[in-house]
A and B are shown apart, each in its own frame.
Chain A
Amino acid sequence: MRRINPVLPSAIINNAIEIDFIFEGQQFKGFDGDTLASALSANDVKVFGYSYKYSRPRGIIAPYAEEPNALVSLEQGGLYTPNAKATQVELYQDLIASAPTLNPNSIEKIKPLFKAFHRFMAAGFYYKTFMRPQKLWMLYEKVLRSFAGISKAPVDFDSEHYDHMHHNCDVLVIGGGLAGLTAAIEIAKTEKSVILLDERPSLGGTTYDYPDEAVGSTNQLEYMNNIISQLDTYPNVEILSRTTAFAFHDENNVIANEMRQDHKPLSERNANLSRQRLHKIKAGHVLLATGASERPIAFDNNDLPGIMLSTAGLSLLNRFSVLAGEQVVIFTNNDSGHTAANYFAKYSQKVTLIDTRSNSPDVALNGNVRLINSSVIIKANGKNSVSSVTIGERDQKSNKNVLTETIDADLVLVAGGFNPVVHLDCHTGSNPIWDDNLVAFAPNLSKQKRSGTGALTGYIYATDVINNAKEQANNIINNSITATTAQKNFLNTDKFFNVESFGGKQFIDMQNDVTTSDIQLAIRENYKSIEHIKRYTALGFGTDQGKTSNVLGVAIAAQSQNLKMSEVGTTTFRPAYTPVTFGALAGQHINDLFDPERYTPMQPSHINNGAIFETVGQWMRPWYFPNNGDGLDGAVFNECLKTRESLGVIDASTLGKIEIHGPDSREFLNRVYTNSWTKLAVGSCRYGLMLDENGMIMDDGVTACLSDDHFIMTTTTGGAAKVYQWLENWLQTEWPELEVYLSSVTDHFSTTAVVGPNSRELMLSICSDIDFSKEAFPFMTWRAGTVCGVSARVMRISFSGELAYEINVQSNYGRFVWDSVLEKGNKWSIVQYGTESMHVLRAEKGYIIAGQDTDGSVSPIDADLSWVVSKSKQFSFLGERSLSRSDTSRVDRKQLVGILTEDPSEVLSEGAQILNSNTNSNMLGHVTSSYFSPTLNRSIAMGLVRDGLRRKGEKIIVATAKGKRSPSTIESYVFFDPDGLKMNGNESENVDG
């Protein structure tokens, strides 16, 4: 293989700019415009790797994205890119690439030793290792795993970034070849907005492979370049090159990935730009101009390096000025082989054209082309690359082949016909249709506002393409329909897919080493459906996704079962058309931007004060405040003790808050909560328990009465959105007659909760217009006033069992109030506490946390909260009916109880199983909450236990999967201050008030 100088006129390389690069540790030179494949080919590199199963040498066989063999790893560290196709890698200065299966130090040395076992490694062998003998499976796995794959998976974080962009356009043209460009310019003239995508660096598609083809008085290359320069002048046209449309979803939603910087030298990459961009395009109409890709003909030893598709050879020649061989043999079943022969005849020493057909087209062949009709290649010969082919005459009647001669060849071009690139059209659920005229699967194109043009629909020659493209453009402009799929077999393609085997290996899928006999074996083993054949043999599984192998596989399946191509059909086409890196799919949604981190107004102070955070839903909440460098346990110990002894403060801003307005507010609350709200006085608050219609606890919180037609409900932090949607659903869909408005004010209020025996003292020091005396401000009431100079609503509610006040102010003043409270609170040694201490304090008092102690299967009876459930409300509140369902009212349901370990220092694991005894392993329940209680100086836990409420005092065993067994006792879950004395005047709840 060599570079032709002077460079061909059609070539896209610039030989004035030389590029240095490294491949497999060796220095090479190429030119600006080269791909890695073309540059290496120019340097006579033929072998790119050794195959997965049989470790056979492999080289390039396809022109572009269809390439199955030449996979390379690029760069290293955070820039490492695995499994890039050398035919697609744009060469840049100082590029570093390696072919992972060429490395002599790797498993590749060992693979050839398996040659003796190859006959046992036919299709399905891996699957069979799962079956017997079972004991050896792990051994097989370790060995076989090391064989699999090509590039190693990356281990470093991707150091580049990716983004997404949305587009809306009138017409999306997918494919920037002659057809796409011709159609685009026609549409552009009408001022419709047009987006044109093409996967290659420059527009033109396969025009470059056949540049001399005539169009009027010029050639198609010149004609096309003319259109490109015109297109640039239209402001309503956006052209995205290096952009592959890889998914076509309903309603003309197309997703495409653009390689913005992969082609740039590392030193020139701009860190402010994304490396790749995912374009999400919504189009009024989609015109598919995706072209057709060549398929091979299979014959024995067809995988030797130097054997490739004719378009691969033409691409190297006409695009990159690389001559892939001097003694060229072209094996064809259609007219394009003759065209290819004429191109090569200009530069190669000898060209032999083997045509399966008895009649040839009226294409004048260059003088030094030797044409042999009615013949086939029986087998290719050579060691690490092809050196000759043995051909045979094809007996049309018996279809047997008679060996005739052996021809020297250092390049074999196989021209087996063209497959329209139907993939995108199939993503929305239609299958392609076998077309006997095209001798290929044609696109269905039956969906609305979608059409196809060019080679995709069977138009091959330039003038035909141009006419068809103009016609399709007019259809889009005028909203008309004309027939798309070509009626003529333009290339006179012979329905010939593979030569009968003479005992050698005949490869269909190169990347997975799937042979003709593998497919025949699958069928003999009764895996007859093409979907089964695919999975049994791994045909089409590789990174090339079967682009050069699937149709051949269908043909062999059809032959073996005496079926038509249409009867075998194709496997389902799914996105992505070509591989897409995960980074592009994630876009900007990674690391700290993966999901919103919601902050309260106090966040900067929490950071200043060294809080350790935990995520609660989307919120970042202080988990604990390390005290003198201690960890969680030490911090919690300090926070809980100091709060119960004197004064603590917690940021409770994350709770959901919903304003309820309207004359029917009380009725609404009566319907959605278990208890009664009819008589709740203005200025008072009440705990509310919310059930789903299954009678299970859904959420809970305190709701305050601001006036007869105005309440403010709080929900749990994690349940806010769900509850809001639930309430709106009932109000709008079931009770539209109720005059109620629900408005979310979660973000409007910040909440500073001051907790502990000195909380009243603290409040007095920061608020002078509220009477904090026990009589004037009882438990479960609220008062309005001014705190730290800010208008505030203060609620006397408690989740800790201590005297406590929650200060609600507008968010923008929240941090000021928080900092002020901390400052003033120093007088009473105020301690900040986080969610962990909050959990402990409430557990000590037996307050449930919906979502921790409940899991959607816990009713209020189960949770020992019957006192919150009214028996006398007129309207059957949500969930009430289900409480009397036979299963919900069962006596042996799991019920929430307290659990105390025999060893007070032992803290049970949340989720640990509860058993009756060491010998009986039937699970009675599990631990829902577990902590070390600083107040009681021992561990406490809550759990759900079958029939728990009647088993108080009984002994149980708490067990973990690792084998731990903790003897414990079932107790009440109110561990501390059961009479509520610390609340300082705690009146009992009156549910029916």
Chain B
Amino acid sequence: MHLEEEDFSYSGEALIARPNNPSSISDDEWGDYLFMRKNPKGRHVEQWQHSSGCRKFFVIERNTIDNTIYSSYTMIQASKEIKHETN
């Protein structure tokens, strides 16, 4: 059975790692972590939660223009398989 979109909640850009040592970074760098997001027109690697179901967070790559979904990952898979930027 496929699952309905309404059972899921969007959770923003994926794989944004929290700075390991927040007290050692500047306000600007902290602000980047808090607010700056890629917001692309096109392919976007993002988090969703199956909020009405198993409540697990997972990662998909989705096209923000036409909603094509290219791939999906569990959180563990995503952190291993997708290259991400650390602050």
Q: Are B75 and A729 in contact (CB under 8 A)?
A: no
Q: Which 10 A-B pairs have the closest CB atoms?
A: A881-B22, A876-B22, A732-B57, A885-B27, A733-B57, A732-B75, A881-B30, A734-B18, A733-B75, A886-B27
Q: A694-B34, A725-B49, A729-B11 are in contact. Are A881 and B56 (CB under 8 A)?
A: no
Q: Are B9 and A250 in contact (CB under 8 A)?
A: no
Q: Are B76 and A693 in contact (CB under 8 A)?
A: no
Q: Taking the complex as formed, is A728 at the interface, i.e. its CB lies under 8 A from any CB of chain B?
A: yes
* 22 A-B interface contacts by CB (under 8 A): A250-B67, A251-B67, A725-B51, A728-B55, A728-B57, A729-B49, A729-B57, A732-B57, A732-B75, A733-B11, A733-B14, A733-B57, A733-B75, A734-B18, A736-B76, A736-B79, A876-B21, A880-B22, A882-B34, A885-B27, A885-B31, A886-B27
Q: Are A885 and B30 in contact (CB under 8 A)?
A: yes
Tell me the A residues contacting B by CB distance below 8 Å: 250-251, 693-694, 725, 728-729, 732-734, 736, 876, 880-882, 884-886
Contact partners of B67 in chain A: CB under 8 A: 250-251
Contact partners of B22 in chain A: CB under 8 A: 876, 880-881
Separation in Å of the B74 CB from the closest CB of chain A?
A: 9
Q: Are A876 and B30 in contact (CB under 8 A)?
A: no
Alpha-carbon distance between A732 and B14 when the two chains are bound, in angstroms: 12
Contact partners of A250 in chain B: CB under 8 A: 67
Separation in Å of the A546 CB from the closest CB of chain B?
A: 28
Alpha-carbon distance between A725 and B19 when the two chains are bound, in angstroms: 21
Q: Which of A251, A734, A881, A886 contacts B23 (CB 8 A)?
A: A881
Q: Are B23 and A733 in contact (CB under 8 A)?
A: no
B14-28: which have CB < 8 Å to A? 14, 17-19, 21-23, 25, 27
Contact partners of B19 in chain A: CB under 8 A: 881
Contact partners of A728 in chain B: CB under 8 A: 49, 55, 57
Q: Are B27 and A732 in contact (CB under 8 A)?
A: no
Q: Which of A725, A876, A882 contacts B9 (CB 8 A)?
A: A725
Separation in Å of the A83 CB from the closest CB of chain B?
A: 32
Which residue of chain B lies nearest to A693 when distances are taken between CB atoms in the complex? B34
Contact partners of A880 in chain B: CB under 8 A: 22
Alpha-carbon distance between A322 and B73 when the two chains are bound, in angstroms: 65
Contact partners of A693 in chain B: CB under 8 A: 34
Q: Which of A250, A694, A725, A732 has the most CB of B within 10 A?
A: A732
Interface of B, secondary structure class, is mixed
Separation in Å of the A897 CB from the closest CB of chain B?
A: 27
Q: Which of B34, B47, B55 contacts A733 (CB 8 A)?
A: B47
Alpha-carbon distance between A876 and B31 when the two chains are bound, in angstroms: 16
Tell me the B residues contacting A by CB distance below 8 Å: 9, 11, 14, 17-19, 21-23, 25, 27, 30-31, 34, 47, 49, 51, 55-57, 67, 75-76, 79
* Number of inter-chain CB pairs below 8 Å: 42
Which residue of chain A lies nearest to B47 when distances are taken between CB atoms in the complex? A733
Contact partners of B79 in chain A: CB under 8 A: 736
Separation in Å of the A450 CB from the closest CB of chain B?
A: 14
Q: Which of A250, A251, A733, A884 has the most CB of B within 10 A?
A: A733
Contact partners of B18 in chain A: CB under 8 A: 734
Which residue of chain B lies nearest to A721 when distances are taken between CB atoms in the complex? B51
Which residue of chain A lies nearest to B34 when distances are taken between CB atoms in the complex? A693
Alpha-carbon distance between A936 and B24 when the two chains are bound, in angstroms: 49
Alpha-carbon distance between A884 and B27 when the two chains are bound, in angstroms: 8
Which residue of chain A lies nearest to B18 when distances are taken between CB atoms in the complex? A734
Which residue of chain A lies nearest to B58 when distances are taken between CB atoms in the complex? A732
Given contacts A728-B49, A732-B75, A734-B17, could you give 16 more A-B pairs where the C-beta distance is less than 8 Å?
Answer: A694-B34, A725-B51, A728-B55, A729-B11, A729-B49, A729-B57, A733-B11, A733-B47, A733-B75, A736-B76, A876-B21, A876-B22, A881-B22, A881-B25, A882-B30, A886-B27
Separation in Å of the B38 CB from the closest CB of chain A?
A: 17
Alpha-carbon distance between A553 and B19 when the two chains are bound, in angstroms: 59
Contact partners of A734 in chain B: CB under 8 A: 17-18
Which residue of chain A lies nearest to B9 when distances are taken between CB atoms in the complex? A725
Which residue of chain B lies nearest to A694 when distances are taken between CB atoms in the complex? B34
Q: Which of A251, A732, A876 contacts B56 (CB 8 A)?
A: A732
Contact partners of B21 in chain A: CB under 8 A: 876
Alpha-carbon distance between A882 and B79 when the two chains are bound, in angstroms: 26
Alpha-carbon distance between A729 and B49 when the two chains are bound, in angstroms: 8
Alpha-carbon distance between A734 and B21 when the two chains are bound, in angstroms: 14
Separation in Å of the B56 CB from the closest CB of chain A?
A: 7
Alpha-carbon distance between A167 and B11 when the two chains are bound, in angstroms: 29
Q: Are B34 and A736 in contact (CB under 8 A)?
A: no
Contact partners of B27 in chain A: CB under 8 A: 885-886
Which residue of chain A lies nearest to B5 when distances are taken between CB atoms in the complex? A251
Alpha-carbon distance between A725 and B50 when the two chains are bound, in angstroms: 11
Contact partners of B31 in chain A: CB under 8 A: 885
Alpha-carbon distance between A734 and B27 when the two chains are bound, in angstroms: 21
Q: A728-B57, A729-B57 are in contact. Are A876 and B75 (CB under 8 A)?
A: no
Alpha-carbon distance between A732 and B11 when the two chains are bound, in angstroms: 12
Separation in Å of the A493 CB from the closest CB of chain B?
A: 35
Contact partners of B14 in chain A: CB under 8 A: 733
Which residue of chain B lies nearest to A730 when distances are taken between CB atoms in the complex? B18
Alpha-carbon distance between A693 and B33 when the two chains are bound, in angstroms: 10
Which residue of chain A lies nearest to B31 when distances are taken between CB atoms in the complex? A885
Alpha-carbon distance between A288 and B31 when the two chains are bound, in angstroms: 51
Alpha-carbon distance between A885 and B31 when the two chains are bound, in angstroms: 9
Which residue of chain A lies nearest to B21 when distances are taken between CB atoms in the complex? A876
Alpha-carbon distance between A729 and B55 when the two chains are bound, in angstroms: 9
